[in-house]
Amino acid sequence: MSSPRNSPSPSTSSYENAPTRSVSVHGEKFAYRELGPEDGVPLILLIHLAGVLDNWDPRVVDGLAARRRIIAFDNRGVGGSSGSTPDTIESMARDAVLFIRALGFDEVDLFGLSMGGFIAQVIVAQEPHLVRKVILAGTGPAGGPGIDKVPALSIQATLKGALTRQDPKLSLFFTESADSQRAGRAFLERLKERTHNRDKDISLPSFRAQLKAIKKWGRQVPSDLSGIRQPVLVANGENDRMVPSQNTRDLAARLPRGELVPLYPDAGHGGIFQCHDEFVPRALEFLES
């Protein structure tokens, strides 16, 4: 059981209305949003490449917040967080730990999506006493196949998206099928539900620093995951073209207490958003078991 040293935040009914707060970490301001019950082990959300607070699907956050205390935050130098964005996953993990401790927590659950999942793996390996349970989605281990291609793929999709005035997440997070594309457009609409106090978009230098960090992670020597004793729930779509789905299976197999959610059919990197109806109860069950 963990409780913050700071004064408790008033509980908020939905992510759409959650105020954006900040906490000082070594002189830098870290932006975050909090909602859900005020007690219990908080679930810290670790976002994907280029993501800010507004990139979390409100259905997923609200679904989890119905029963868990949820805290989403911006990485250093991204969105509402000040400072300059580091270009290694290790450094992002150190930031996340400092942020968690700055809020006064000594035990948390982690939910890392894509790059956030890389960060979560480093946190749990380096600060095992801080972490109770982990959820990894659309992610892979250091050195996992195809991860070093994420930067080139992301730049390509971003340029293409700019030329065709389409959000690159449609092609990066969803499959080409009509169903998945429809789900993608619905997801993009949900991301717009919050209309006030939206977060700042990522800057180009921060985006580049993250791309560099991801490339290094993809080229890193595979780490030994056998020392991770926490329960880890691993989820993804079966057709992830960013962090190939094979990485998800590989994580589940190599983590001693890894638990694989059957890969979502006709879904990609954004599988947990596309299939939020299935993912949310499964994640809650995992966190509460």
**Residues of the shown chain interacting with its own copies in the complex, contacts defined by CB under 8 A:** 50, 155-156, 158-165, 168, 201-204, 207
Provide the angle, in degrees to the nearest 10, between the axes of the packed helices 178-191 and 58-65: 70
Give the residue with the Cβ less far from its own copies, 129 or 165.
Answer: 165
The Cα 235–Cα 243 span in angstroms is: 12
Give the residue with the Cβ less far from its own copies, 24 or 197.
Answer: 197
Q: Phi-psi category of 154—alpha, beta or left, where left has phi over 0 and alpha has psi -120 to 50?
A: alpha
Question: Who's near 142: CB < 8 A, 6+ residues apart?
Answer: 89, 118, 121, 217, 218, 220, 221, 222, 223
Q: Which two tokens stand for residue 197?
A: 């106090």
Q: How far is the CB of 277 from its own copies (least distance, A)?
A: 28
Dihedral sign, CA of 248, 254, 256, 262? positive
Q: How far is the CB of 168 from its own copies (least distance, A)?
A: 7
Q: How far is the CB of 158 from its own copies (least distance, A)?
A: 5
Give the residue with the Cβ less far from its own copies, 154 or 220.
Answer: 154
* 174 DSSP assignment: S
How many other C-beta atoms are found inside a 10 Å radius of the C-beta of residue 156?
14
Q: How far is the CB of 201 from its own copies (least distance, A)?
A: 5
Give the residue with the Cβ less far from its own copies, 158 or 181.
Answer: 158
Q: How far is the CB of 60 from its own copies (least distance, A)?
A: 22
Give the residue with the Cβ less far from its own copies, 101 or 215.
Answer: 215
